[in-house]
Structure 1
Amino acid sequence: MATRRNFTQEYKDQAVSLVLDSGRSIAEVAKSIGVHEMTLGKWVKKARESGRVPDKDLSEPERAELERLRKENATLRMERDFAKKVAAWFAKEQP
């Protein structure tokens, strides 16, 4: 028989923050923290509906920096993925 796990509001807020601030998918975050995808999806939906979205309290300079960092992070991920593909291609070509 499965037992029901209880999570603190702080834990839920941090999980929601991971989804909203990092740009990662709900499925990806849920898997990394060990929570069912549907559960995390409900937390995110509830946070959006109640206005408890973490970056609502950011000032304009903080918001601008967050956007800049998100774009930079996306670029770095793309470059990393490309480097992995190139490395795999070169490794495959070695005799």
Structure 2
Amino acid sequence: MPQPYPKEFRDDVIRVVQTRDSKTTIGQIAKDFGVHEGTINKWLRQAEIDAGNKPGNTSDESAELREMRRRAAAYLSQANLPSKGSTRS
């Protein structure tokens, strides 16, 4: 899986897209920054959610949910391990 773009880079791209003139397309900006247009659209949707302009999970909420799922998976995998005194094969 590719490494995520740094937050500062994403913020810069979003700022450029939000302040562009009517002649500049997202596709042109994507090409200039070397990012896929769909990626920029995803970043814009998340920025709108984080700003409270659209419904959805904020970036902080999404990070918290990922951490909770990770912990739940670790807990459940431990619960399914045989105990030390088990005679099961």
TM-score by length of 1: 0.47
Whichever of the two has the greater Rg, that structure is 2
From the two aligned structures, give the one with the greater helix fraction: 1
Task: Select the structure with the greater relative contact order (CA < 8 A; seq sep ≥ 6).
Answer: 1
Q: How high is the TM-score relative to the length of structure 2?
A: 0.50
